[in-house]
Amino acid sequence: MNFDLTQEQEMIRRTIREFADEEVAPGAIERDRTKEFPVEIFRQLADMGMMGLPFEEKYGGAGADTISFAIVTEELSRACASTGITYSAHISLGGAPLNLFGTEEQKEKYLTPICTGESFGAFGLTEPNAGSDAGGTQTTAKTEGDDFVINGGKVFITNASYAKNLALTAITGEQDGKKEISAIIVPTDAEGFKVIDNYEKMGLNASNTTELVMENVRVPQENLLGKRGNGFRQFLVTLDGGRIGIGAMAVGIAQAAFDRALRYSKERKQFGKSLSEFQVNQFKLADMALKIELARNMVYKAAWLKDQGRPFSKEAAMCKLYASEIAMEVADEAIQLHGGYGYMKEYEVERYMRDAKLLEIGEGTSEVQHMVIARHIGV
């Protein structure tokens, strides 16, 4: 067993950490306030070759592994979780299904612009009446000649305003009396396709979360992604990988909250002593560090299993569940250690808590992760 990062992973960590500290962190409070999408940061990430990090070089990717993806997501989220979720969804929800299930032609056409950063990656699964029960999809794609004609709607879709194409699920027919759900690649500028960007969110304010409306959107049948009727299964596989991204985001936010809490507790004096001299606060900080260490190990383990081509679904659910819950706990404790100042935006810790909450909800709620784990342990 070897817990050391490889030279390449170390180099990626050094590069992205420096970038996160110098370019991403400084504007995070302002972007949280203005809700401005970090376009310039992503232009720079594209120049650094990060936008297609785990995909093959022939599509413009960098051919790196999942651990490297987790490291980049963690470091970006430590500086600004809105940037982190944009990146994580771009790679693991936007690029990954194309990479896993696309034909050679589809990859060249749709994955390449994602890798170069020309287009953002996005993924349309959730609907108003199909969230945790994603199989409850009501969007339909009827076959008409050589085309699919799509009608329906999606909610809470990350990055769609900045995506040129995205894969979404729709009912394409019936199989043995059950809905046949397929994945279809849809250009976002197709006639009848509307992207609405007007959610008022609790956090992750600089990330793009959208509603999609499809009214008689016509796409050629060659835009089917993977096998007809396999859409639901494909999206479950995609979500397994996405959960590593959410776990990594959670570790990044928790690390940021811990770093702030440690620094502040050494600086702030009450009763003639720094807060860190009180044993109760030392224990709080020790618990925070312990939780982050365990969460990071679990994220890396899930990523490592994926890189080995081994089953990782249970570990991805475990890392997502544990890391997202400790991110909330650590952010909450960081606010507590800051006292009244923690309640003020300037100290950043309140943003960490607002941003972290999404991680217990997106890509399968904590309850859904428990269901996945229960299934794997034979309950």
Residues annotated catalytic, as ranges: 363
Does 374 participate in binding ligand FAD (rule CB under 6 A)? no
- Using CB under 6 A, which residues numbered 186 to 215 contact ligand FAD? 204, 209
Q: How many residues bind ligand FAD (CB under 6 A)?
A: 21
Q: Min. distance of Cβ 80 from ligand FAD in angstroms?
A: 15
Q: Min. distance of Cβ 156 from ligand FAD in angstroms?
A: 3
Region of residue 2 (phi > 0: left; psi between -120 and 50: alpha; otherwise: beta): beta
x/- track of binding to ligand FAD for residues 347-366 (CB under 6 A): -----------x--xxxxx-
Stretch that binds ligand FAD, among 121-129, 136-144, 177-185, 187-195 (CB under 6 A): 121-129
Does 123 participate in binding ligand FAD (rule CB under 6 A)? yes
Residue 38 vs 342, nearer CB to ligand FAD? 38
Does 247 participate in binding ligand FAD (rule CB under 6 A)? no
Residue 350 vs 355, nearer CB to ligand FAD? 355
Other Cβ atoms within 10 Å of 63 Cβ, number? 14
Does 89 participate in binding ligand FAD (rule CB under 6 A)? yes
- Minimal CB distance residue for ligand FAD: 131
Closest CA relative to residue 219, chosen from 135, 124, 129? 124
Tokens of 277: 């001299």
Residue partners of 248: CB distance under 8 A and separation at least 6: 69, 70, 71, 73, 74, 77, 84, 88, 299, 303, 323
Q: Min. distance of Cβ 75 from ligand FAD in angstroms?
A: 21
Does 93 participate in binding ligand FAD (rule CB under 6 A)? yes
Q: Which of 68, 83, 112, 158 binds ligand FAD (CB under 6 A)?
A: 158
Residue 132 vs 282, nearer CB to ligand FAD? 132
Tokens of 34: 């203005």
Does 34 participate in binding ligand FAD (rule CB under 6 A)? no
Does 87 participate in binding ligand FAD (rule CB under 6 A)? no
Q: Min. distance of Cβ 151 from ligand FAD in angstroms?
A: 18
Residue 241 vs 364, nearer CB to ligand FAD? 364
CA angle, corner 96, sides to 54 and 226, nearest 5? 140
Residue 157 vs 285, nearer CB to ligand FAD? 157
Does 248 participate in binding ligand FAD (rule CB under 6 A)? no
Does 238 participate in binding ligand FAD (rule CB under 6 A)? no
Does 131 participate in binding ligand FAD (rule CB under 6 A)? yes
Tokens of 202: 């609790």
Stretch that binds ligand FAD, among 49-57, 153-161, 217-225, 266-274 (CB under 6 A): 153-161
Phi first, then psi, for residue 286 (nearest 5°) are -65, -40
Q: Min. distance of Cβ 63 from ligand FAD in angstroms?
A: 25
Residue with tokens 């996405």: 242
Do the beta carbons of residue 245 and residue 73 sit within 8 Å?
yes
> Which amino acid would we find at residue 364?
G
Do the beta carbons of residue 43 and residue 117 sit within 8 Å?
yes
Does 125 participate in binding ligand FAD (rule CB under 6 A)? yes
- Residues at the site binding ligand FAD, with contacts judged by CB under 6 A: 89, 93, 123-126, 131-132, 156-158, 204, 209, 358, 361-365, 367-368
